[in-house]
Every structure is written in structure tokens, then in C-alpha cells.
């Protein structure tokens, strides 16, 4: 079965600094999709960034970028120029060819003014 | 347009009662997903629908849980004979098709007394 591991339950970063959240996963599949979602204190989950496994190029979305290492099954999220609004729980998610979807346990990020 | 709508937003009920949770996805989204989020935990995948069909129900925690989707739109998650361990936030999400980013509702916070 697929698993997604986020080894950092909590992290903090100073405003304007850069922070990297780690995610590893386990799968025997070759084609799949990886996501980072953000859940602010208001509770609604929103997409941060998406990566297709067949693409070698790392996905980038403004201040958010990923370091996708397929062989190592690693999918870390880098947030540059951190802002107070980035304070949230961040979830890494795996979407493969099966009929189930896997989320990690999340990393609680606090941006310190 | 409107996002994913879930109702009720909060539900408190006594142990042993049945509850029905509703999800209204974004119009035109063919894929619909249900998750359970317990305090301090990640998201536990329950079931997904492609159209009105749920290919795999093995993610449902027990046979007290059931879900249906009609008309390719609204979905209901029913929990029969509720137990205290069913207390959680139940999240619904939808996406245009499978493997696309999921759009989440605000969730239903279920409390079993």
C-alpha cells in the first residue's frame, strides 16, 4: 500500500525567510501525481502545488516550488519569502492509479513576524 | 462560481443515532471524494465517486458507513449507529476529473456524545 510520510510535525520560520517542508512516499507505481495542500486555521484545504511524476521539471508556483526526487521518492516543498499568511497546516498527498488517495499527517508551519 | 458546499457544518448527536452528511460539489466536477480528519491527524481517505459510481469501498471504516451519489452531483455519507470514535471532521472534495487538484469544502464537524 502507498504511504506518505511527513517527518516534521511542526516548523517555524521568520517572515521573509525560506523554509522547506519534507515529504517522502512509498509506491511501486511509475506514473502518479503528488500534491501539496495548505489548510489555514479557517479549516478549508486549498491546493498549493501539483507535480506529475512523469515530468522531470520541478513544479513552481510563485513563491512555492518543489524538489521532486523520483528515485528517492521524495517531494519537498520550498516556500520562499515567507509571509504571515503562509501560517497553516501543510499536507503532502499521493494520487496514483489505484482507487485510494493518501495524505501525510501534516506539518504545522508558523511564520514569525 | 460556488465552491464545494457541505452541510451541516456542525452536528452533535448521541451515540447510537444515525447521521447523514451532505456534499454538494462544484458544478461539472465528475469526481467526488470523502475524507475523515481526526484531531491532530492527517486525512483518512474514505471513498471516491467517478460520476455516480464508487469503484472501491474498502476505505470505509466499517459497514456502518455508506455513501451514495445521485445525478452525478450531490453525495451523502451516512453513518449508522454512531460511536464516539466516529467524532471527527468529515471533508468532501471534488475535481473536474480524476488526478486533478481537489477542491475541498469546509467540512462537517461531527461530535458523538
At B55 the pLDDT is 85
**Residue A10, CA distances (Å) to A19, A102, B75 in order:** 12, 20, 34
Find out whether B89 and B108 touch, Cβ atoms under 8 Å: yes
**Residue B105, CA distances (Å) to A22, A98, B23, B73, B90 in order:** 26, 23, 8, 14, 9
pLDDT tens-digit readout, A78-101: 999 999 999 999 999 999 887 778
Chain B positions in Cβ-Cβ contact with residue A102 (cut-off 8 Å) = 45
Residue of A nearest to B33 (CA): A101
Chain A positions in Cβ-Cβ contact with residue B10 (cut-off 8 Å) = none
Does the beta carbon of A106 lie under 8 angstroms from any beta carbon of chain B? Answer: yes
Task: Please state which of the ranges A17-21, A95-99, B8-12, B89-93 shows the lowest mean pLDDT.
Answer: A95-99
Instruction: Count Cβ atoms within 10 A of the Cβ of residue A101 and give its class: 0-12 exposed, 13-18 middle, 19 or more buried.
Output: buried
Q: Is A79 helix (H, G, I), strand (E, B) or coil?
A: strand
- DSSP letter string, A18-66: -EEE--EEE-S-SS-EEEEEEE-TT---EEEEEEETT--SPPEETTEEE
Of B60, B64, B73, B85, which Cα lies nearest the Cα of B20?
B64
d(CA A49, CA A9): 20
pLDDT tens-digit readout, B66-108: 999 988 899 999 999 999 999 999 999 999 998 899 999 999 9
pLDDT tens-digit readout, B16-53: 999 999 999 999 999 999 999 987 778 999 999 999 99
Amino acid at each position: 500500500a502507498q504511504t506518505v510520510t511527513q517527518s516534521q510535525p511542526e516548523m517555524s520560520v521568520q517572515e521573509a525567510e525560506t523554509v522547506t517542508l519534507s515529504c517522502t512516499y512509498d509506491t511501486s507505481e511509475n506514473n502518479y501525481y503528488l500534491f501539496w495542500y495548505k489548510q489555514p486555521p479557517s479549516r478549508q484545504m486549498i491546493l498549493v502545488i501539483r507535480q506529475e511524476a512523469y515530468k522531470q521539471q520541478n513544479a513552481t508556483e510563485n513563491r512555492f516550488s518543489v524538489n521532486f526526487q523520483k528515485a528517492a521518492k521524495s517531494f519537498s516543498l520550498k516556500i520562499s519569502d515567507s509571509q504571515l499568511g503562509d501560517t497553516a497546516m501543510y499536507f503532502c498527498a499521493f494520487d496514483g492509479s489505484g482507487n485510494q488517495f493518501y495524505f501525510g499527517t501534516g506539518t504545522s508551519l508558523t511564520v514569525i513576524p | 462560481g460556488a465552491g464545494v458546499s457541505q452541510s451541516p457544518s456542525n452536528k452533535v448527536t448521541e451515540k447510537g443515532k444515525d447521521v447523514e452528511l451532505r456534499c454538494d460539489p462544484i458544478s461539472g466536477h465528475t469526481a467526488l471524494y470523502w475524507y475523515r480528519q481526526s484531531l491532530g491527524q492527517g486525512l483518512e481517505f474514505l471513498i471516491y465517486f467517478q460520476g455516480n459510481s464508487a469503484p472501491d469501498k474498502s476505505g470505509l471504516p466499517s459497514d456502518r458507513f455508506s455513501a451514495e451519489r445521485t445525478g452525478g452531483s450531490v453525495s451523502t455519507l451516512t453513518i449508522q449507529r454512531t460511536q464516539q470514535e466516529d467524532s471527527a471532521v468529515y471533508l468532501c472534495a471534488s475535481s473536474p476529473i480524476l488526478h486533478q487538484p481537489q477542491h475541498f469544502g469546509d467540512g462537517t464537524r461531527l461530535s458523538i456524545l
